[in-house]
Amino acid sequence: GAVVSQHPSRVICKSGTSVKIECRSLDFQATTMFWYRQFPKQSLMLMATSNEGSKATYEQGVEKDKFLINHASLTLSTLTVTSAHPEDSSFYICSADRDVDNEQFFGPGTRLTVL
Amino acid sequence: AQKITQTQPGMFVQEKEAVTLDCTYDTSDPSYGLFWYKQPSSGEMIFLIYQGSYDQQNATEGRYSLNFQKARKSANLVISASQLGDSAMYFCAMRDLIQGAQKLVFGQGTRLTINP
Q: What is the pLDDT of residues B27-83, one digit of tens each?
A: 988 899 999 999 999 999 999 999 999 999 999 999 999 999 999 999 999 999 999
Amino acid identity of residue A40, one-letter, is P
- State yes or no: pLDDT of A91 exceeds 90: yes
Mean pLDDT of A34-47: 95
Instruction: Please check the confidence at residue B101 and state whether its pLDDT lies above 80.
Output: no
CA atoms within 13 A on the CB side of B11: 26
pLDDT over 90 (residue B96):
no
Give B5-40 pLDDT, tens digit per residue: 999 999 999 999 999 999 999 998 889 999 999 999
| A-chain residues near B7 (CB < 8 A) | none
Mark yes or no for CB contact B44/A109 under 8 Å. yes
What is the bridge-based pairing of β-strands B88-96 and B110-115? Answer: antiparallel
Residue in chain A closest to B93 (alpha carbons) equals A44
Confidence of residue B98 (pLDDT cuts 50, 70, 90): confident
The mean pLDDT of B92-96, rounded to a whole number, is: 93
- Give alpha helix (H) positions in chain B: none
* Closest to A115 measured CA to CA, from A46, A15, A29: A15
Q: Which residues of A touch B88 (CB under 8 A)?
A: none
Distance CA B53, CA B74 (A): 11
Q: Are B57 and B89 in contact (CB under 8 A)?
A: no
Per the DSSP assignment, residues forming a β-bridge with B10 are B111
Q: Which residues of A fall below an 8 Å CB-CB distance to B?
A: 31-32, 34, 38, 42-46, 49, 91, 93, 95, 97, 102, 104, 106, 108-109, 111
Cα(A92)–Cα(A103) distance, integer angstroms: 20
List B1's β-bridge partners, or say none. Answer: none
**Set of chain A residues whose Cβ sits within 8 Å of the Cβ of B95:** 104
Overall average pLDDT of the A29-33 stretch: 95
Contacts of B108 in chain A (CB under 8 A): 42-43
Residue A100 CB: number of other CB atoms within 10 A? 8
* Closest residue to A43, CB basis, from B42, B91, B101: B91
3-state SS class at A24: strand
Average pLDDT over residues A7-25: 97
